[in-house]
Each structure stands twice: as C-alpha cells, then as structure tokens.
Amino acid sequence: MEKKLSKMRIPIAKEGYVFIVPLLGITILFGIISIKGAIVPAILTLFVVYFFRDPERVVSSEAGIIVSPADGRVIDINHKADENLMGEESVCVSIFLSVFNVHVNRIPCEGNVIQTVYNSGKFLPAFQEKASLLNEQNSLVIDHKNKKIVVRQIAGLIARRIVCWVKEGCQVARGQRFGLIRFGSRVDLFVSKDVELKIKKGDKVVGGKTIIGKIKDEI
C-alpha cells in the first residue's frame, strides 16, 4: 500500500526562486538586446531550475522500513560508527549528492524529532571521509518507537548553506521533506545495528523511495 505525501504543487524548492527569478530577468534583458546574448544566462537559468527541482514521491507505507533521506550514491557503509547522538555503536550509511541529483532531503522513518544539532565548519569535498567530521553540518535525532535514528546534512565543496525546515518536538512522517543543501553535498544516516540493510556501497538511491533497511523487530 502506498500514499502520496502532498498535494499538487510547483515541483521547485522555494529556496531556488531567489536564484531563478534574477537569472530569468537577466535572460529576458539580454534577449531583448540580442538573442545570442541570452543563450548563456538561459542555460544557467535552466540549470538552476533543474537543480532546485522537487518532484513528488510515492512513499511506501510498509511497516518497519527506513527509506533513503537523499538522492545520490552510497559511498560508504560503516558498521562500527561511533556517533555520540546515537548513544551507542551504530551503522552509518553515507550518501553523496552530485550537482545533478535532487537536493531536497527527506525523513527516513516516522517519529518525533527529539534533537537538532548544527555545527559550522569547513567546506571540504563531501565525498571525503573527514568531511563528516569537519564540514558544516546539521543533524536531526528522530525517536522511532524508542529507537534513535540520526540523519545528518553535510555541506560540500560547493554547498554553502544547509536548510532545515523541522525543529525539535516536530512529529515527522516517513518521506516528508525536511531540508535542502545547496549545490553538491552529502547525507549520513545512522541506524542501530539491528537494522537489516537492503543496500550496498555503490548503489544509487532515491530519497523517500529506496529502502535503506528494515527494523528487524518490526518486520
């Protein structure tokens, strides 16, 4: 059984309009002067529209599953992650988002946001292992039936701003949009070791759709 999480809407993240509107204005202005002169700003406008696209996703209602918080490629799976926010040794799934991926992030599992932690930092390439420690990042701790799940937005070399739309105390649904990272980034997902993973390193994943794992006692 599946359900759509939201009604019909313009499939562009609202944060994109601050870039799209000026670029569109420049394109029109250049086009009035010269059609050839409008080619470059037109291409830039189309790229920015493409980058900030926010398509609807149909999210599975199957019990006990954890879905991908982002579009991209699994670049690492650490089965012995030492994450303070989890309070125990856990499994970390790292997803790299290129500039061609959808950059809207989604909640991996329904629950209550019990903590948010923002840390300013560097802007190293997001695919580097040390980026998860040194780069600008924002973490959500979700309580799902007394189990913690941590999802971390990590800025990359080009990304310079992390956007998060949920706060502590919010009830969240699986697949719900919760934030965005501009222009290339990474998302780390921390789950308990009793989660049965359904992905492997190198897999391409789709936010809100690809099943990352299943919670064993809910299967």
Catalytic residues: 185
Retrieve residue 28's tokens: 């029109």
User: What angle, rounded to 10 degrees, do the helices at 39-51 and 17-33 form?
Assistant: 160
Retrieve residue 219's tokens: 């299967």
> What is the distance in angstroms between the CA of the first residue and the CA of the last residue of the chain?
15
Within 13 Å, how many C-alpha atoms sit on residue 24's CB side?
Answer: 9
Residue holding tokens 């993240």? 13
Say whether 111 sits in a helix, a strand or coil.
Answer: strand
Closest CA to 189 of 51, 72, 100, 54: 72
Q: What angle do CA 49, 6, 3 make, to 5 degrees?
A: 120
Residue 26: phi and psi, rounded to 5, are -65, -40
